[in-house]
């Protein structure tokens, strides 16, 4: 499995990448984690990246590409990978295409997690992380007053770029630089859009189905569709009871199915009576009369 996860900050790429990693045994390669690790270790590269990340901007392409190239050359990525947060602009996508061609590892799919703006804001502003085990929580679902990780008791913290003004910047950068990748991967026939709201397991199931689905021929894809329409549609579907969904089948389709079934019955009956007539004729027919010789 070689896939790219696309989606706005807070769309759940990291969480879903971990689930896919556990299920398929291929590593999650997160550019954000690689950068945060470099910052934490205080490397030269990390020092350069720190301020840029805290301002919600993109770190330079050559730094990120270097990290990704190194990571993909590690043995555990030989059988596949889940790229999370990379590529994030068209230049990075082109560099990735070239790199994967070079190492003979073409992408199987690009999964876009579609989540509404309001949900993104709520998820990011409320996100808290355990420094010990890396578990991610949200203040909206943590019991009131609890600020420690239930697994190991460590005080959870807020990522510096999850402050509201930085979140706004990151979403703006996403809209301007990363969203154009939707068209790029649609044209390559690789994009699948997954409704990213709802229960974690339900999203994971949709991701799984999308990751394993066959590629859509590029000619059959409508590039213009607004991704958020997918989220709305999924929500509507989830609300609709099954019986109602059946009843809501377009009447034209129902009528066409009825006509087709009627036609099949008529044809069958006609064939049957033709066969009967033939048999009857066979029984009563005279022996062929010999031709008179001239
Ligand atoms: P999110 O997707 O929630 O913004 P990430 O952990 O993917 O979180 O990224 C955090 C920050 O790391 C980004 O805001 C950006 O500054 C930097 N970063 C991550 N990936 C890239 C990338 N591919 N190119 C440039 N900068 C990146």
CA 219 to ligand 1 centroid distance, Å = 32
Catalytic residue at 187? no
Return the ligand 1 atom nearest residue 124 CA: 3
Q: What tens digit of pLDDT does each residue of 64-81 get?
A: 999 999 999 999 999 999
185 and 225 Cβ atoms separated by less than 8 Å:
no
Catalytic residue at 127? yes
CA 194 to ligand 1 centroid distance, Å = 21
Q: Which of 127, 128, 192, 206 is catalytic?
A: 127
Residue nearest to atom 12 of ligand 1 (CA): 32
Catalytic residue at 286? no
39 and 53 Cβ atoms separated by less than 8 Å:
yes
Catalytic residue at 236? no
Tokens of 161: 């770029």
Residue 232 pLDDT: 59
| Helix residue spans in 194-250 (DSSP H) | 200-212, 227-239, 242-247
Residue 146 pLDDT: 86
pLDDT profile of the chain (294 residues), mean per 10: 95 93 95 94 93 94 94 94 97 96 93 94 93 90 89 93 91 95 95 94 94 64 49 57 44 55 66 64 46 42
* Alpha carbon distance 203, 195 (integer Å): 7
Q: Which of 50, 71, 128, 170 is catalytic?
A: 170
Residue 231 pLDDT: 55
Tokens of 149: 């990780």
Residue 109 pLDDT: 95
Q: Which of 21, 11, 175, 155 is nearest to 88 (CA)?
A: 175
Residue 281 pLDDT: 54
Question: For a substitution probing ligand 1, which of 35, 93, 171, 178 has the most ligand atoms within 8 Å of its CB?
Answer: 35
119 and 197 Cβ atoms separated by less than 8 Å:
yes
Return the ligand 1 atom nearest residue 57 CA: 16
Tokens of 165: 């003004």
CA 85 to ligand 1 centroid distance, Å = 6
Catalytic residue at 249? no
* Alpha carbon distance 17, 211 (integer Å): 11
* Alpha carbon distance 22, 27 (integer Å): 8
């Amino acid at each position: 499995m070689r896939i790219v996860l696309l989606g706005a900050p807070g769309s759940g790429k990291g969480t879903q990448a971990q689930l896919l990693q556990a299920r398929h045994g291929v590593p999650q390669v997160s550019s954000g984690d690689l950068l945060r690790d470099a910052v934490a270790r205080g490397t030269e590269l990390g020092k350069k990246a720190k301020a840029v990340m805290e301002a919600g901007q993109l770190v330079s392409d050559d730094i990120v590409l270097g990290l990704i190239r190194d990571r993909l050359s590690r043995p555990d990525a030989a059988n596949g990978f889940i790229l999370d947060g990379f590529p994030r602009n068209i230049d990075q996508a082109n560099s990735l295409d070239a790199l994967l061609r070079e190492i003979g590892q073409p992408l199987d799919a690009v999964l876009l997690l579609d989540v509404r703006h309001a949900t993104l804001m709520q998820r990011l502003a409320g996100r808290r992380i355990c420094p010990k085990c890396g578990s991610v929580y949200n203040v909206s679902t943590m019991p009131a007053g609890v600020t420690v990780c239930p697994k190991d008791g460590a005080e959870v913290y807020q990522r510096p770029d999850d402050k509201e003004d930085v979140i706004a910047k990151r979403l703006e950068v996403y809209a301007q630089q990363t969203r154009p990748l939707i068209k790029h991967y649609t044209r390559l026939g690789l994009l699948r859009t997954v409704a990213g709201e709802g229960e974690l397991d339900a999203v994971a199931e949709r991701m799984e189905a999308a990751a394993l689905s066959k590629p859509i021929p590029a000619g059959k894809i409508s590039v213009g569709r607004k991704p958020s329409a997918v989220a709305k549609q999924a929500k509507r579907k989830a609300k609709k009871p099954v019986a109602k969904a059946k009843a809501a089948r377009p009447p034209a389709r129902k009528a066409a199915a009825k006509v087709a079934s009627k036609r099949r019955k008529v044809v069958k009956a006609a064939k049957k009576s033709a066969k009967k007539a033939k048999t009857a004729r066979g029984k009563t027919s005279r022996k062929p009369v010999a031709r008179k010789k001239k």
